[in-house]
Amino acid sequence: MAGLPLTLRAEELFILVVGAGAVAFRKIERLLRAGATVRVIAPDGIEAVSALASDDRIDWRRRAFRTDDVDGSDLVVAATGVADVDRAVASACRARKILINCVDSLELSTVTFPSIVDRDPVTVAISTDGTSPTLARYIRTRIETMLPNATGALARFFGGKRPRVKATIDDVAARQQFWDDVLASSVPDDVYRGDLARAEAGFDRLLAGGGVQTGLVSLVGAGPGDPDLLTLRALRTLQRAEVVLYDNLVSAGVLDLARRDAERIYVGKRRDFPSTRQESINDLLVEHAHAGRRVVRLKGGDPFIFGRGGEEIETLNSLGIGFEVIPGITAALGCAAYAGIPLTHRDMAQSVRFVTGHLSDDRTNLDWPELAKPDQTLVIYMGLASIVRLCAELLAHGADPEIPLAIVSRGTLADQVVIRTTLEGVAQVVAEREIKGPTTTIVGRVASLGIANTA
């Protein structure tokens, strides 16, 4: 191994930075964040460094570097951008055996700064020993997506519990097993969500030797189809789930991201196919949660936009089952973005409405005069058959027949189709074209904008 990773207690360090340009500033910021005491030597520098000096956050000596400046430093950073000066700083440090990081030269450095994933107090450092900062950044980005923001909170939670666990479980191996059990339980998820009361209760129960806790149900928005539109939290939750209940709007690409060994249960509801009744879905959620599993209810788009997410959480709530809701990109936003249609526009639409027509008895009770008004955008979440009826109603209530309309089918997927027409042209388009998959229709002047017609 080329490097020796160490964690320094920065608050006890005195660090000299030679240079006050942009590169030096980035290093100074990082050192200050870690709690170090920083002195800067440079005849001049950028405004941001001046501001730190004005705020007394650094001691800036505005003059050229002198060899004895390094005396008494625990670490020196040379970031002048002038090779000769950096070399002089490095040789002064090496002669005194002071650690030196020369930002422009691996050869002159005895230490390098790794790329950092910061989840205070958890720190992940990535070093390629100076061979490829780009690769280090890439690896860092991957780790950033894996570690929840609240990883630090989990570390603090565990840290606070250690004395009690040590006092309760004597045997080292048994203690290790206990911590593994805690990590595999819903306690970490509870901490991540900030539900410390539930986390405490779960922890106490495990420590008292209690069995599995009631599992957690996560209502996860799968977005409109393109797996790249999942949120980081949705992805992490999906990858931890033991059971995934999904409906027909969830794309295969998103479902593929679930853990390989997760049980996948299709609970789709489609008008033309035998459907899984909502009560059966609720029963399944409850059954798996009671078995202590980590359950994901994966719903197309966003769970709370025409997704009956509200009904599912009511059931869970009434039974005291823990749940969380992870938002997703709703079809309106996904389809509009991928078709290049801005849903609001200063000159064309000051408001946007999301409309659906499915009611329990298959009738609509929409406010037609309001919907027919100009200068707004309507985004209609409905199958094509209903669209024709809805457009006829809009025309009957005085909407402009020439108003542009875009039908986006299989939005955000590789085979997305965007068809442009007008309010009065929609019936003909629907009659003549074979349009497949879920469709979202955008009505309003903005629908004339965006990418050229596809198909």
Which one of 4-12, 139-147, 405-413, 427-435 is the stretch in contact with ligand SAM (CB under 6 A)? 405-413
Binding mask 76-105 for ligand SAM (x = CB under 6 A): ------------------------------
Q: Shortest distance, CB of residue 37 to ligand SAM, whole angstroms?
A: 52
Footprint of ligand SAM on 230-269 (CB under 6 A): 249
250 contacts: CB under 8 Å, gap ≥ 6: 222, 298, 299, 300
* Among candidate residues 414, 401, 411, the one with its CA nearest the CA of residue 440: 411
Identified binder of ligand SAM from the candidate list 254, 355, 408, 426, rule CB under 6 A: 408
Q: Shortest distance, CB of residue 406 to ligand SAM, whole angstroms?
A: 11
Q: What is the dihedral of CA 178, 183, 188, 190, to 10 degrees?
A: -60
Q: Shortest distance, CB of residue 222 to ligand SAM, whole angstroms?
A: 9
The answer to whether residues 221 and 328 touch, using CB atoms and an 8 Å cutoff, is yes
- The residue among 166 and 270 lying less far from ligand SAM, judged by its C-beta, is 270
Q: Shortest distance, CB of residue 83 to ligand SAM, whole angstroms?
A: 56
Quick one: DSSP state of residue 345?
A: B
Pairing of β 417-422 and β 404-409: antiparallel
Bridge partners (DSSP) listed for residue 322: none
431-435: long-range pairs with CB below 8 Å, 24+: 435/384, 435/407, 435/409
- The residue among 65 and 381 lying less far from ligand SAM, judged by its C-beta, is 381
Q: Shortest distance, CB of residue 289 to ligand SAM, whole angstroms?
A: 22
- The residue among 307 and 444 lying less far from ligand SAM, judged by its C-beta, is 307
Structure tokens at 111: 């230490």
Q: What span, in angstroms and rounded, lies between the C-alpha atoms of 289 and 319?
A: 11
Residue nearest to ligand SAM (CB): 301
Pairing of β 404-409 and β 439-443: antiparallel
Identified binder of ligand SAM from the candidate list 101, 276, 377, 440, rule CB under 6 A: 440
- Give the residue carrying structure tokens 């995934």: 244
Helix, strand, or coil (residue 148): coil
Q: How far is CA 368 from CA 354, 359, 395, in A?
A: 14, 15, 10
- Give the residue carrying structure tokens 């599995």: 212
Handedness of CA 92, 96, 100, 105 (dihedral sign): positive
Cα distance between the two ends of the chain: 56
- The residue among 117 and 219 lying less far from ligand SAM, judged by its C-beta, is 219
SS3 readout for 232-249? HHHHHHHHHCCEEEECCC
Identified binder of ligand SAM from the candidate list 133, 227, 383, 425, rule CB under 6 A: 383
- Give the residue carrying structure tokens 């280090």: 136
Residue 247 annotated as catalytic = yes
Which one of 4-12, 92-100, 295-303, 362-370 is the stretch in contact with ligand SAM (CB under 6 A)? 295-303
- The residue among 243 and 305 lying less far from ligand SAM, judged by its C-beta, is 305
Q: Shortest distance, CB of residue 236 to ligand SAM, whole angstroms?
A: 20
Q: Is 215 in the site for ligand SAM (CB under 6 A)?
A: no
Q: Is 410 in the site for ligand SAM (CB under 6 A)?
A: yes
Identified binder of ligand SAM from the candidate list 331, 339, 419, 423, rule CB under 6 A: 331
Residues binding ligand SAM: number (CB under 6 A): 24
Is the peptide bond preceding residue 121 cis, with omega within 30 degrees of 0? Answer: yes
Structure tokens at 371: 């919907």
Q: Shortest distance, CB of residue 238 to ligand SAM, whole angstroms?
A: 17
- The residue among 187 and 333 lying less far from ligand SAM, judged by its C-beta, is 333
The helix or strand, by DSSP H or E, that contains position 382, with its residue range, turns out to be none
Q: Is 227 in the site for ligand SAM (CB under 6 A)?
A: no
Which one of 13-21, 189-197, 207-215, 433-441 is the stretch in contact with ligand SAM (CB under 6 A)? 433-441
Identified binder of ligand SAM from the candidate list 330, 376, 377, 421, rule CB under 6 A: 330
* Among candidate residues 287, 280, 336, 288, the one with its CA nearest the CA of residue 308: 280
The catalytic position among 247, 283, 302, 415 is 247
Which one of 124-132, 211-219, 313-321, 437-445 is the stretch in contact with ligand SAM (CB under 6 A)? 437-445
- The residue among 16 and 220 lying less far from ligand SAM, judged by its C-beta, is 220
- The residue among 15 and 281 lying less far from ligand SAM, judged by its C-beta, is 281
Q: Is 411 in the site for ligand SAM (CB under 6 A)?
A: yes
Q: What span, in angstroms and rounded, lies between the C-alpha atoms of 73 and 16?
A: 6
User: Residue 88's Cα: distance from chain center in Å?
Assistant: 45
Q: Mind telling me the catalytic residues?
A: 247, 269
Chain contacts with ligand SAM (rule: CB under 6 A) = 224-225, 249, 299-302, 305-307, 330-331, 335, 381-383, 408-412, 438-440
